[in-house]
Amino acid sequence: RDLRPDNIIVPRQGPVKLVNFDCARVEAGDLQTIATHVDRQLDERYVAPEVWKNAGAASFASDLYSVGIIFFELLAGRPPYNRIRQVFDAKGLPRLPTELNPDLPREANEIVGRMCAFTPDARYASLSDALEDLAIIG
């Protein structure tokens, strides 16, 4: 539940590894005590809007949002925003990948935009669906 570049290890050989599972899951019984602690640790550039409001709202959809932000940064060279307030003001991403890297295919805007949709139900249903669309644009 804390996907960000600092928590991704890319070795020279072997698979990519995710690290730092301190915020992996907030269970209902622990919500009152843990959620307050968790939200102070999250990097607002990579956290989904619903999780920023309520750490207990973390889900697959919020993880997909974080992956989308990381993907945006890989494509464009920097995250789409510096402060989460920009996302709330725009009700979504305040800028598109092609605004920062005009050499990208326009479809990248749609895919990243759907991965990072403001509401969880507007995001891809699964990572494999997003990867399928990414494979189409190459």
What would the pLDDT profile of 28-85 be if each residue is shown by its tens digit? 555 444 444 444 567 899 999 999 998 888 899 999 999 999 999 999 999 999 999 9
Rounded to whole angstroms, the Cα distance separating 96 from 76 reads 9
* pLDDT one-digit tens code per residue, 2-24: 777 777 778 899 887 766 655 55
Alpha helices, DSSP H, located in 16-83: 31-41, 49-53, 60-76
| Residue among 2, 22, 89, 133 flagged as catalytic | 2
Q: Token pair of 73, please?
A: 């940064």
Rounded to whole angstroms, the Cα distance separating 87 from 76 reads 17
pLDDT of residue 2: 72
2 annotated active-site: yes
pLDDT of residue 103: 95
19 versus 128: the higher-pLDDT residue is 128
pLDDT of residue 27: 54
pTM across the whole model = 0.81
